[in-house]
């Protein structure tokens, strides 16, 4: 029980790191462009994971060579392909989100990004995975909330909201790609390769379009370190460690709190203010996110009793 409590607290800390990172990303735009920010951030995230990988490999050296040689080549190929695929999607998702933060607040961006929890099952329909009635209720509730959150009095959507919403779709694809590759290879190594891949891909438009000076990057060191080291490197590692001893439903519920922390940190640090209309939209979106994570009665009863619910 103590171990589960500790892991739940780690996931809550992860949600806080991810949520407050929206503030760092928003502040970073005062110094450098979105592609520069994401390129440097991803390289930092990959570098932070390198010592973690080294420590993990030392522990795995106890395995005999005969156990490794049979699957080592295949696992390495899967690892490289998976890391490149995850990194490509991550580069697109993070770039869209970072561009959106130029035009919209950190708090609103956090709530819109949280829609990936609802978008994932919708995309799953096209992959042959059915979604229950509760998920569709959540989708309707979230769309209703998005109306109040994003639609202005003139019935138009701000440019930043569109970019962040597109990033939520991209992050949903990212989750599904990780879901496919992560059971087949080492998760930390997969994350490391995806960070370096995303860093390289973001570096291309950084050099061609933004052409940042070293002084500009140095001026943004604090938000870059927070987003790169804490949000990417530490946050992902905490998630890996904590989810080994926590129920997936509880883990998803705790990590979805990043949307709340994004609003709270935006209010505390950036002194952002949401109108009553936008606040009501936030409440509806967050309610949809929470409802989507709650297990159904029949499924909870079966899991509690160690059985499986019949299809």
Query: CB neighbours of 14 closer than 8 A, spacing ≥ 6?
Result: 235, 238, 239, 242, 254, 255
Q: Count other Cβ atoms within 10 Å, centred on residue 67.
A: 9
Element at 207 (helix H, strand E) = none
CB 26 within 8 A of CB 263: no
Q: What distance in Å separates the CA atoms of residue 15 and residue 9, rounded to the nearest whole number?
A: 10
Q: Is the pLDDT of residue 13 over 80?
A: yes
Q: Residue 307: what pLDDT?
A: 45
DSSP 184: G
At 301 the pLDDT is: 37
Residue-wise pLDDT for 276-285, tens only, equals: 877 788 788 7
Locate 175 and state its tokens. Answer: 């989750």
Residue 250 binned pLDDT confidence (cut-offs 50, 70, 90): low
What pLDDT score does 126 carry?
Answer: 79
Q: How far apart are CA 54 and CA 63, in angstroms?
A: 15
Q: In terms of pLDDT, which residue wins out, 123 or 40? A: 40
* Tens of pLDDT, residues 155-186: 567 778 889 889 989 988 888 888 788 778 88
Q: What is the separation, in whole angstroms, between the first and last Cα of the chain?
A: 31
Q: pLDDT tens digit string along 15-53?
A: 888 888 877 887 888 899 999 999 999 999 999 889 888
Res. 113: pLDDT tops 60 = yes
**Choice between 252 and 84, residue whose per-residue pLDDT is larger:** 84
Residue 88 above 80 pLDDT? Answer: yes
Mean pLDDT of the chain: 78
Q: For residue range 206-243, list pLDDT tens digits in order.
A: 999 999 999 999 999 999 999 899 888 888 777 766 76
Say yes or no to pLDDT of 306 above 50: no
DSSP code, position 296: P
């Amino acid at each position: 029980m103590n171990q589960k409590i500790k892991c739940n607290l780690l996931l809550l800390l992860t949600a806080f790191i991810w949520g407050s990172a929206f503030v760092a990303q928003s502040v970073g735009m005062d110094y450098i462009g979105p592609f520069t920010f994401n390129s440097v951030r991803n390289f930092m995230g990959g570098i932070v994971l390198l010592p973690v990988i080294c420590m993990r490999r030392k522990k795995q050296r106890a395995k005999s060579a005969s156990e490794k040689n049979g699957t080592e080549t295949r696992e390495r190929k899967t690892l490289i392909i998976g890391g490149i695929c995850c990194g490509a999607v991550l580069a697109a998702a993070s770039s869209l989100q970072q561009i959106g933060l130029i035009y919209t607040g950190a708090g609103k961006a956090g709530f819109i990004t949280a829609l990936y929890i609802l978008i994932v099952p919708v995309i799953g329909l096209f992959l042959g995975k059915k979604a229950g009635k509760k998920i569709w209720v959540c989708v309707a509730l979230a769309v209703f909330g998005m109306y109040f959150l994003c639609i202005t009095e003139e019935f138009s959507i701000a440019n930043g909201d569109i970019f962040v919403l597109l990033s939520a779709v991209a992050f949903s694809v990212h989750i599904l790609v990780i879901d496919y590759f992560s059971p087949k290879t080492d998760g930390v190594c997969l994350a490391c390769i995806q960070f370096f891949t995303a860093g390289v891909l973001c570096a291309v438009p950084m050099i061609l379009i933004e052409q940042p000076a070293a002084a500009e990057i140095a001026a943004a060191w604090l938000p870059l370190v927070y987003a790169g080291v804490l949000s990417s490197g530490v946050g992902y590692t905490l998630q890996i460690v904590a989810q080994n001893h926590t129920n997936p439903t509880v883990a998803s519920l705790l990590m979805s709190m990043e949307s709340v922390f994004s609003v709270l940190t935006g209010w505390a640090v950036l002194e952002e203010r949401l109108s009553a209309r936008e606040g009501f939209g936030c409440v509806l979106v967050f309610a949809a996110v929470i409802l989507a994570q709650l297990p159904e009665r029949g499924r909870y009863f079966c899991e509690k009793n160690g059985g499986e619910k019949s299809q």
